[in-house]
Structure 1
Amino acid sequence: MIMSRIETMTFASVYPLYLAKVEKKGRTKEELDTIIRWLTGFNQETLEQMIEGTQTFPEFFAQANLHPNIHQIKGVICGVRIENIEDPLMKNIRYLDKIVDELAKGKAIEKIMR
């Protein structure tokens, strides 16, 4: 059940939630976009298309060229240890969630972009 809901969610519907979370903690859209571009390999133009588009999370990550250091993102997100997630889509979503959380918690961008 959870997977079918996640598979139908669009990146555009979640991005404003990410933005609100980081702005509430004093961070900026530019910082959020920087870490998302680092994770996905998108340039700003492509990211803007994704923010305004209708791509679901599977489509979003299918178009991404994930950073080779993505495996260095570790820890717990939503009560689940990222390293233990087996489903590739869910793992990628949790990587994204984790770096957004790190940004919101004040971690330096240079440390987020391992």
Structure 2
Amino acid sequence: MVRLLVDGTLTEAASGKRYENIDPATEEVLGHTADGSAEDMDRAIGAARRAFDDTRCPQAFRPIPSEDDADAPRIANDSPYGLSRAVCSADQDRTPTIARRIRTGSINVAEVPPGAE
């Protein structure tokens, strides 16, 4: 039985309903899955909102200006949120050099229109 993961806990659907999980190639029933409803979705969204509000996550998604080219990688590498980063600048000659000095899973390099920085 596959249950729902809500607020760090595996639970049954609020309705108790399940559906068959069927292999499309053989039409064999592989198991049963909790049939989540709007109530389950509301619980999951509430848990995600609490987690977002109770952690540093909001800070991880906002742009952080840097003093200079040496400061940008230091700021980016000093965060525990390292799966993805972005380097944005109106000067596209600088951004690849900065991006190469950042430790992350993936990085986006974006051009910012002059005056928008």
Q: TM-score range by the shorter chain?
A: under 0.3
TM-score (norm 2): 0.22
Q: Which has the higher helix share?
A: 1
Q: Which has the higher strand share?
A: 2
TM-score (norm 1): 0.23
Q: Relative CO higher for 1 or 2, CA cutoff 8 Å, sep ≥ 6?
A: 1
- Higher Rg: 2
